[in-house]
A and B are shown apart, each in its own frame.
Chain A
Amino acid sequence: MANIDEKLQKIARDLLESKEVSLIIGYTGGSHPQRMRPVFITKPEDVGRLSFNRHSVQDLAVFLKKQEVKKFGRIGIVVKGCDEKALNVLMQEYQVSRENIKIIGVECNGVIRQDLADKGETDLSENTVYDKCLMCGEHTPILHDYLIECADPQISMSGDIKPFAKIEELDSMSSEEKDVFWEKEFDKCIKCYACRQACPLCYCSRCIVEKNVPQWIDTNFGKIGNAQWNLIRAYHLAGRCIGCGECERACPVNIPLMLINGKMARSIHDLFGYKSGLDVDAKPVFGVFSESDFNDFIK
């Protein structure tokens, strides 16, 4: 662990001292030992605060959309494999340019679910990490300028745990049953839009929910509009979402948003053979079409 931190700090110091970047976004110890939090380092003498471990759950790419961060110009950022996919989408969509960003990749074999970590969990196992970690195909960040090897062993899988098994369960339900399930979930939504704020790919300066000519989504305090909001959020991220899980983690009422994101990702892979965030040079899946696209549902 200490080894990782030292390497991180050395990279950060070099980058800041050589003025290659003017800001490093990374992790530092949080409010208790099982929590990490984002940290913004601008001076070489502060790099000692940088750290990384199995509690580094946040996707720091979310900060790149902020004006306060953008004004630093050249930025160094610490990313896990999943977080780096968000960078790839941002580059694909011309939100971030590769020259302005130094990617400090950290190999990662999983991060511990925050809800468990808050109860004291420190073990890395198939029972303690997020579902996305169990399915992860990018333990090593795809693009990186620096790479720090992993301190944790690979998680051994017993085969008993099926990540996102609930998606299949829902797929096999009738419309009425699905309707009941989602109605119960969406009724909880308080329209705080934390899911949007936490998402590295929700960068529109004016979200559809804030547009009122016409107003597509009811924004009053009641339950009306909840389903529309959740639907449109998922739809606007279809083919873009890289499955970091930050939306679900941010949701104060625990709506299982990853089920919807996961379903969308599967559909897009099934229909168009596309997975988001893997290739910066790929055209976004909804920016292109093929004459032989799936047509079965059209009369």
Chain B
Amino acid sequence: MEDKKEELAKTSGDNDPRIIAFVCNWCTYSGADLAGTSRMKYADNVRVIKLPCSGRIDPMFIVEAFKKGAKGVLISGCHPGDCHYISGNYHSRRKYAIFRNLLGFLGVDLNRVEFSWVSASEGNKWVHIINEFTDKIKSLKNGSNDIFKK
């Protein structure tokens, strides 16, 4: 298990940064699925981890991903008002607004942490977000976020 996690998050080099996407099952995952079944092409740097709801995405997941070597982390769920569990994304939005500030204050480059709302019909948006995020990560200097590795 441990090895698998390392493998998943490992980045082979500056040009092939690993990005971990934590997504909710109901919207973003379906959106990504749509992109796949529609044969849309997008950067293969991303590894998707599906969770029931964006409210289930614990901030420690972000830290863990960086610890295991990820160069970027994406959190994505249903649009406000669309959460399968009604309010999970409202709660997660509130906590992530603060958690993000905390990460930034402690020296994590916030360019490496991205948040989005992607619905089940937004295969295009998913592709766009992943491609854009991947490019951004590639353009960043390597080395930051080491604070969690030590």
Contact = CB atoms under 8 A, between A and B. Distances in A.
B59 interface: yes
Nearest to A222: B150
19 contacts: A171-B105, A175-B108, A175-B110, A178-B105, A179-B106, A181-B107, A182-B147, A183-B107, A228-B60, A230-B106, A234-B102, A238-B98, A264-B101, A267-B102, A271-B98, A291-B80, A294-B93, A295-B93, A297-B97
B138 interface: no
A176 interface: yes
Contacts, number: 115
Contact of B150 (A177, A223, A232, A299): A223
B147 A291 contact: no
Contact of B147 (A179, A232, A260): A179
Contact of A227 (B64, B97, B104, B148): B148
B33 to A, nearest CB: 19
Given A179-B147, A289-B91, A298-B115, 10 more contacts: A179-B146, A226-B150, A231-B103, A235-B59, A239-B98, A260-B106, A263-B101, A264-B101, A267-B97, A286-B91
A219 B94 CA distance: 29
A187 B95 CA distance: 27
Contacts of A224: 149-150
A192 interface: no
A1 to B, nearest CB: 41
B16 interface: no
Interface in A159-208: 170-171, 175-183, 186-187, 208
Interface string B31-65: 00000000000000000000000000001100110
Interface residues of A, number: 45
Contacts of B80: 291, 295
Closest 4 CB pairs of A and B: A179-B107, A178-B107, A289-B90, A299-B116
Interface in A218-252: 223-224, 226-228, 230-232, 234-235, 238-239
A191 to B, nearest CB: 13
Interface in A250-299: 260, 263-264, 267-268, 271-272, 285-286, 289-291, 293-295, 297-299
Given A170-B105, A176-B107, A299-B114, A216 B93 contact: no
Interface of B: 59-60, 63-64, 67, 80-81, 87, 90-91, 93-110, 114-117, 129, 144, 146-150
A182 B107 contact: yes
B67 A228 contact: yes
For A179, A181, A291, A294, which residue has the most chain B Cβ atoms within 10 angstroms? A179
Contact of A289 (B93, B102, B107, B144): B93
